[in-house]
Structure 1
């Protein structure tokens, strides 16, 4: 659990984020309702947010903190548009598991990384509990990009064939600057998928502009 100073600081950050979001033009709810070129959520009342994060040994606490701030921004975005929001936390190393918030942000596992395990579990949960005709589905994935080489192409295929056709938006954030094979595979999706975005983040100061860029399509070009 977070200490009182950490809780106070997090609340302050959330307040600051809310103020920033209110100043972003494309988040205007009137604009979302009446501009013909904007995709209108159906149904408009509920959304589910899938948070996927690598918890293998290479994801240190600093990288988890960066990921947490990104997830918070996505959640704040959704609260401006939906009355009901479910959050599904999926952590993974070589295997994926649905967990609660505390386990998601604080657990660390040793060993390697198989990213596709998280995408497979996300797809299974979507089909079982969140049919796309009834829910607006959003995905947010955070990782340092490390993955078993042979698994990265499988991740791209899972997104392209099974996940992206069912979600409104999927955002991938790599919390490291190193070139990784997963990044290279995901880049191939950008040319064909309009509801997919990816960015690299290495410092907390980069979170705000990354968020604006990631969701520009959702608010303006969708």
Structure 2
């Protein structure tokens, strides 16, 4: 009888722990926010055009894919993990130092890249993990130094989140402190303007 009681108690404890773990995972999901609104068409980056010619599958747009993903604990964990892994794996270097050219976009095959190469590799890995490319858009911003910078926007039912090589934290767009200039369109092989909307957060939040 004592053995049965011990087993029953152990089962209750395990069930309670499992329930707590599930609740913790759910609580780890970011709070819902509004996405960054597109305001019209924008001119594509020339280096992006060359990238799409060289890596057509990376730029392919499938209108049957969702434009926004439903964020689950598993997907959130995948996004955070890939952001962190790529940030650690790739060595930052400007295109001028690396290739002798002002701007070149690629997948950092040699383990070296600048901001857009980090983000393209993240999208490549997230797509391989099952996330729809249509919901992952390369985005141009003005950073805290007043300089042009590329990030990856992941569009979700909880808002737009930014993957950035400057931080391993995946942040809602409005907490980055960046000014959002334009991003890839989810409707065509083109870019849309974000109107220069500025995140109200400061770099202290990063």
TM beyond 0.5 = no
Structure having the higher helix fraction is: 1
Structure having the higher strand fraction is: 2
Determine which structure has more spread, i.e. the larger CA radius of gyration.
2
TM-score normalized by structure 1? 0.27
